[in-house]
Structure 1
Amino acid sequence: MGNPEARADLREGAWQAAHARSLAEPEAFWGEAAAAIDWHKPWTRVLDDSNPPFYRWFAGAELNTCYNAVDRHVAGGRGEQPAIIHDSPVTGSVTSITYAELQGRVARLAGALRELGVDKGDRVIVYMPMVPEAAIAMLACARIGAVHSVVFGGFSARELATRIDDAKPKVIVAGSCGIEPNRVVPYKPLLDDAIAQAAHKPERCVIFQREQLPADLIPGRDLDWAQIAAAAEPADCVPVAATDPLYILYTSGTTGQPKGVVRDNGGHAVAMTWSMRHVYGVEPGEVFWSASDVGWVVGHSYIVYAPLLHGCTTVLYEGKPVGTPDAGAFWRVIEQHKVAVLFTAPTAFRAIKRDDPHAEHLGRYDTSTLRALFLAGERCDPNTLDWAGEILGVPVVDHWWQTETGWAIAANCLGLEQLPIKSGSPTKPVPGYDVQVLGDDGLPVAAGSIGRIMIKLPLPPGCLPTLWGNDERYRASYLSAEPGFYLSGDAGFLDDDGYVFVMSRIDDIINVAGHRLSTGGMEAVLASHPDVAECAVIGVADPLKGELPLGLVVIKCDVDRAEAEIAAELVAKVREEIGPVAAFKSVLVVPRLPKTRSGKILRGTMKHIAEGTDYRMPATIDDPAILEEIQGTLAAAGYGASD
């Protein structure tokens, strides 16, 4: 359970004091936080505000992120502590890698990359499954000052090609295949096709061969990971500027020209380390499990960098919340590895609740080491949050953040002070974030009124300083809505206590006969019905009222009632709790909802289908076949006929 003395400073008012100081004295606040990191050279300014809106943190400083995440822990006596536990139910294996072993493996791959000509500032694309080698590749790039860009393993060749052309990598590091519960996904043909499509050609490809499906290598271009790493001279850590890029991560909403979020070295290392203790309440040596994927921002921040920077043991899980083998998979991992804190997406718990609504699997495992559950990725409906809290008996924290910020904007900071939980709210802004809700006139709206959620500049350390190679797009996409503010893209409100409520994306606020309504509020009502496993509400164009809401729901596995009966109850429930003004009249039962691989429901795509308008297959969709199912259900109900 960690060191209780290290958390003895928890006290009433700690969040308020920390948040107020972080806004009033940001340089002093973050300068003190930076003491947790080893620096090669100190900064000249904690916050360089000489070129707004392009603020930079720890200007003039030098450090190495890999050294801070690996080498310093070995030097500090943690060499024999597990750094990474790879738990892979799809292959039936569990592997533990100590910090000392990780140091050796990272240094050798870094040396191999250096011998291939990869230097400070060069880009390396990482196209890998959920194996330790994915983290090793990221850390190896950081070790020699190269900039990595992880692309979710199995992404289509077209999407990979757009990222190759934008990042222009010198080398691509890839796995031969990925493993799903019921199939093996060959990565190498996708990689070869992507390189053929791309205008930019990498000089070399390094292939990690998995025994389940080794790949054929192209002579002169492709190299075997194991062979070149074994022959390489281990590389030392290369100091880089705090403001130099650590990685590029393309947002899940990328279409057309890619939008590459840049993360710097210095601010990122400080924010990641600070967040582990103060947001998640985790101490060095404890086991932290983020059930995500290295292809997403959560995987970058809380599978790889933050836990290792803080000296924790991180679990890298190659499996699903259900089906590998059952809805008790998460409880088995918690018991086996003595997980202190779990971080996952609400959709994972909806899947568990759908398959095991009474949490019968939980009784087979001892989860007493678990101290807290954190949820993020999309808005968590109160019903799912309450269910998770009831079955686990620990605080369940819905927290809100984005690819762009890299860490939480709003959270219940358990390492500062556990504030009262309000279902439907990610609690209050994290220190460093000045969150405001503004109307279309640019002025703050009244408490309880929905508006655009914005963050006053400068953003705290760890957030994006710009987009890769495109300062103007960064300014236009995020900073142009209101001078001096970052546009989150989300709509919501602050209540009288200062709690943040994120209701939906701004695009998901629908206009029904002149009334601006949140689809998130309607979804919360639907999700509270005892028969509903998960749901989505979309606005469909209507010639009379502008838009009308349409609910799509997935029913729990053990429910044996008429769909029409459930739909009628749901319509009545929304009309009762939201009011007749919502004009909520239509609910369709679907077998499943289309999602991205990170668990976000594709509401915009379903809206296009319902309205009969053209849409592009989302690059991040988990299973394209679901869209055909949705299209059939909508067509049978009279939706989807285009004008």
Structure 2
Amino acid sequence: MQLPSVSSGSTPYSEVDAFSRTDRSGFWLEAAKAVDWIRPPTVAIEQRSPREWGWFPDGELNLSANALDRHVDAGRGDLTALLYDSAMTGTKAAFSYRELRDLVADFAGVLRSQGVGVGDRVLVYLPMTPDAVVAMLACARLGAIHSVVFGGFAATELAVRIDDATPKVIVTASGGLEPGRAVEYLHLVRKAIDLAAHRVQSVIVRDRAAVPGSAADYQGDTEVAWLDWEELLVDAVPAAPVSMPSEAPLYILYTSGTTGSPKGIVRDTGGYAVALAWAMKNIYGIVPGQTIFTASDVGWVVGHSFIVYGPLIAGGTTVLYEGKPVGTPDAGAFWRIVEEYRVNALYTAPTALRAIRRVDVGLAELERYDISSLKALYLAGERLDPETWHWANDGLGVPIVDHWWQTETGWSICANPLYIEALPAKAGSTTVPMPGFDVRIVDASGSTIDEPGVEGNIAIALPLPPGALIGIWGSPERYAEAYLSAFPGFYATGDAGHLDEDGYLFVMGRTDDVINVAGHRLSTGSLEEVLTLHPAVAECAVIGVHDDLKGQRAAGFVTLKIGVDHHPDTLVAELVALVREHIGPVAAFRDVTVLDRLPKTRSGKILRKTMRQIVDGVPYTVPATIEDVSVLDPLLALFRTAEVGAGSS
């Protein structure tokens, strides 16, 4: 395995991990040296109670300065910080660290002119354009707390977030672009303001030529000031970075499955900076001169950590891509980006790979591009099935890092630390825990399961490492109830899985995705692994549906690769036979439904819970983050006719 020179290779990962466990304070104070502090910390962690702690409590810093100013001050101002590539408009742009710093300082001055200061909230509702990066870093520069909400998010859900975060200012644009259509934002913002109880002071609007609408359209509004981004910049006075306590909140980010009362994850400043600095060097190998392309959205935690903050803290180059893995214009979109910008690390979700595989199973598009700069492919956001792992591993010829983490943790719980030691990969495993994450498998009572290969609840011993959530916005009780109460002394991940004899973690799905068939507990992840072995299957989801006799039975939903012609009855028979061969008759598997598309969130997570509720005929709420609500129509039709099974579509 050929890795770039940033890999030291001098210390085995086992020794690094042992250091983090035996001398936690020493390990993290050493790691904190990678960050520029206004007041360097002398204490790594302050444990206030079994459930409460703070990282680097006596330290002060500014995260915007760590992402931008320090690189300029060190003579790296001309290095490229941000590359923008819009497949939707054909627009491309590059920003040096100096240029990006100046843009951020100016827009921070704009926010300051609107009365935004330390601790104030700013709601960012923007498309995947450089403005989103500028707005986030400008908030961090002032010590304000940003809350990024997807541009185009429904007005009702936006209103709920306005009431929860109570922002002083909303930063938005005239609209965003999706394949074949423009999404106008301003009427959604206006409707959300009408629905919300909290009064927003002002809305700053960035006009976008491709989408109609401007601040001028709403300047007769007597309740809120609608202001033009460009006009405000004319008189802006650049803002200097504000010194912030390490434990000061940096941002609020609502979890992807939120419905009803939102769950706003709160991240601190210093702990997050230290964790990302460690991860960028040791997991991703990003240092000045290296480029990372994270194919996600700034509305997700992946975008926060690995499009914006992480790469810029490391002094690397980050690619901001507005487009899709397929269809903009074809299944070679990612490979074009890798070649054009000499990308060293590519980070995306398994669903993006499966979308490419469905259209281009033989990777014919890959042959058109030179991806020799690519050192590794990183995948997260949902479970990576072994079949897709093998397809990518064989096709790309670079290490495939299937790592696992959550919005709540902010960075990798488990990964392959390639730039400390490239550990042998195992298909289906997220490799080993990263420093500070003491991962355990526990039973329903919270007792640790030590036997390798035995599945249970995945939990993390407290305290959590730097970078993890410090609470839920406005609700400490909800934080404890949601994460710390199920297994005393542990953070409950909500995922199920097992550790093998080498300490590798296998995440098999959410705990509510474990089904009980006549007393036998079966992992939906295991069943999905088997279904993807079939050469016709592109993607699949398995859910447990109600069964009067067995309690639950497994029902499979599959999509087929483009160009595959398979008779439904034959396909079902072959899939049932596969499950019987690999899992056994105990699975009692017989229901397979062929769909054109699986219902997913915008981040690519399959909505298994919603599917199960629809099929079982119980009340359900469609998550606001669903990618396309019309995808549920075939499932609703199946439920109405009670035809979940062979050949349905």
Shift of 1:54: 1.4
2:238 paired residue among 231, 234, 238: 234
In the alignment, which of 293, 309, 312 is matched to residue 308 of structure 1? 312
Q: Is the 8 A contact 2:125 2:173 kept in 1?
A: yes
* Alignment equivalent of 1:111, drawn from 109, 120, 125: 109
CA separation in 2, counterparts of 1:306 and 1:603?
Answer: 31
Equivalences for 1:103-182 in 2 at 5 Å?
103-182=101-180
Aligned partner letter, 1:553: V
- Counterpart pick for 2:364 among 357, 360, 363: 360
> Is residue 396 from structure 1 mapped to residue 394 from structure 2 by the alignment?
no
Question: Which residue of structure 1 aligns with residue 50 of structure 2?
Answer: 52
Q: Given the alignment, which residue of 561, 583, 586 partners 1:578?
A: 583
Deviations 1:41-82 (A, max 9, x none): 122421010233111100011100000000101111221111
Alignment check: 8 A CA contact 1:124 1:170 kept: yes
Q: Contact 1:538–1:606 (CA<8 Å) still a contact in 2?
A: yes
CA distance in 2, matches of 1:440, 1:617: 29
Return the offset for 1:181. Answer: 1.2
Note the C-alpha offset of 1:176: 1.1
CA distance in 1, matches of 2:633, 2:385: 26
The code of the aligned residue for 2:405 comes to W
Matched, 1:6 2:6: yes
Answer whether contact 1:23 1:433 (CA < 8 A) is retained: no
Report how far residue 284 of structure 1 moved: 2.1
Q: Which residue of 2 aligns with 1:257?
A: 261
- Residue 55 of structure 1 aligns to a residue whose secondary structure is strand
1:593 aligned counterpart, secondary structure: coil
Q: Counterpart of 1:524?
A: 529
Displacement after TM superposition at 1:4 (Å): 4.5
Query: 1:342 corresponds to which residue?
Result: 346
Q: CA distance change for structure 1 residues 621 and 513 in 2, over 3 Å: closer, same or farther?
A: same
Deviation at 1:586, TM superposition (A): 1.0
Question: Is the Cα–Cα contact under 8 Å of residues 202 and 227 in structure 2 kept in the other structure?
Answer: yes
Is 2:213 the counterpart of 1:215? yes
Q: Which residue of 2 aligns with 1:515?
A: 520
Q: Give unpaired runs (5+ residues) of structure 1.
A: none
Deviation at 1:226? 1.0
Match of 1:422 in 2: 426
CA change 1:395–1:636 in 2 (3 A) is farther
Query: CA separation in 1, counterparts of 2:338 and 2:101?
Result: 26
Contact 2:62 2:242 in 1 (8 A): yes
* 598, 611, 625: which one aligns with 1:593: 598
SS at match of 1:269: helix
2:623 is aligned with 1:618: yes
2:72 pairs, out of 66, 74, 78, with: 74
Amino acid at match of 1:375: L
Distance 1:517 1:377 in 2: 22
CA distance in 2: counterparts of 1:266 and 1:618, whole angstroms: 32
Q: Counterpart of 2:34?
A: 36
Cα deviation for residue 129 of structure 1 reads 0.3
Does the 8 Å CA contact 1:281/1:413 hold for their aligned counterparts? Answer: no
Q: CA deviation at 1:565?
A: 0.9
Bigger drift between 122-131 and 582-591 goes to 582-591
SS at match of 1:59: coil
For residue 276 of structure 1, the aligned residue among 261, 276, 280 is 280
Greater Cα shift, 73-82 or 62-71: 73-82
Q: Which amino acid letter does the alignment assign opposite residue 58 of structure 2?
A: G
TM-superposition CA deviations, 1:553-589 (whole Å, max 9, x none): 0000021121221111111101111111111111111
Give, in whole Å, the separation in 1 of the partners of 2:261 and 2:642.
36
Aligned partner letter, 1:384: T
| Contact 2:157 2:624 (C-alpha < 8 Å) held by counterparts | yes
User: Following TM superposition, by how much is the alpha carbon of 1:295 offset from its aligned partner in structure 2, in angstroms?
Assistant: 0.1
Tell me the CA shift for residue 6 of structure 1. Answer: 3.4
SS at match of 1:41: coil
Query: Partner letter of residue 363 of structure 1?
Result: E
Tell me by how many angstroms 1:134 deviates.
Answer: 0.2
SS in structure 1 opposite 2:501?
coil
- Aligned residue number for residue 411 of structure 2: 407
Distance in 1, Cα, partners of 2:6 & 2:547? 58
Q: Distance in 2 between matches of 1:256 and 1:561?
A: 42
Structure 1, residues 369-409: CA drift from partner, whole Å, max 9, x if none?
00000000000000111101111100011100000001000
Give the superposition deviation at 1:3.
9.6
Amino acid at match of 1:21: F
| Cross-structure match for 2:329 | 325
| Counterpart residue number, 1:556 | 561
Deviation digits for residues 305-332 of structure 1, max 9, x if unmatched?
A: 0000000100000000000000011110
For residues 114-162 of structure 1, the C-alpha deviation after alignment (integer angstroms, 9 at most, x for no partner) is 0110010000000010000001000000001000000011110011111
Alignment pair present for 1:373 and 2:371? no
Q: Which runs of 4+ in 1 moved over 3 A?
A: 1-6, 633-637
Give the percent of matched residue pairs that are identical in Structure 1 and Structure 2.
55
Instruction: Give the superposition deviation at 1:215.
Output: 1.8
1:605 Cα deviation (Å)?
0.8
Aligned to 2:475: 470
Matched, 1:628 2:633: yes
Corresponding position of 1:205: 203
Q: 1:468, 1:571 → 2: CA distance?
A: 46
| C-alpha spacing 1:576/1:637, structure 2 compared with 1 (3 Å) | farther
2:448 counterpart SS class: coil
Q: Secondary structure at the match of 1:233?
A: coil
CA drift of 1:231 comes to 1.4
Pair 1:99 & 2:58 matched: no
Alpha carbons 2:78, 2:98 under 8 Å: kept:
yes
Q: Distance in 1 between matches of 2:556 and 2:487?
A: 33
User: 1 CA distance for matches of 2:170 and 2:277?
Assistant: 29
Q: Distance in 2 between matches of 1:15 and 1:637?
A: 53
Partner SS state of residue 401, structure 1: coil
- Post-superposition Cα deviations, 1:483-505, rounded to whole Å, max 9, x if no partner, equal 11000000000011111000010
2:487 maps to 1:482? yes
Whole-angstrom distance in 2 between the partners of 1:4 and 1:131: 30
Match for residue 190 of structure 1? 188
Counterpart of 1:207 in structure 2: which amino acid?
V
**Is contact 2:85–2:91 with CA below 8 Å preserved after alignment?**
yes
- Of residues 338-347 and 524-533 in structure 1, the stretch that sits farther from structure 2 once superposed is 524-533
Query: What RMSD, in angstroms, separates the aligned Cα atoms of the two structures?
Result: 1.4
**1: distance between equivalents of 2:644 and 2:578?**
23
The one-letter amino acid paired with 1:370 is: L
Deviation (angstroms), 1:23? 1.6
Distance 1:147 1:83 in 2: 23
| Match of residue 266, structure 1, among 264, 270, 273 | 270
Q: In the alignment, is the contact (CA less than 8 A) between 1:452 and 1:506 conserved in 2?
A: yes
- How far has the Cα of 1:16 moved from its partner? 1.0
The aligned amino acid for 1:6 is: V
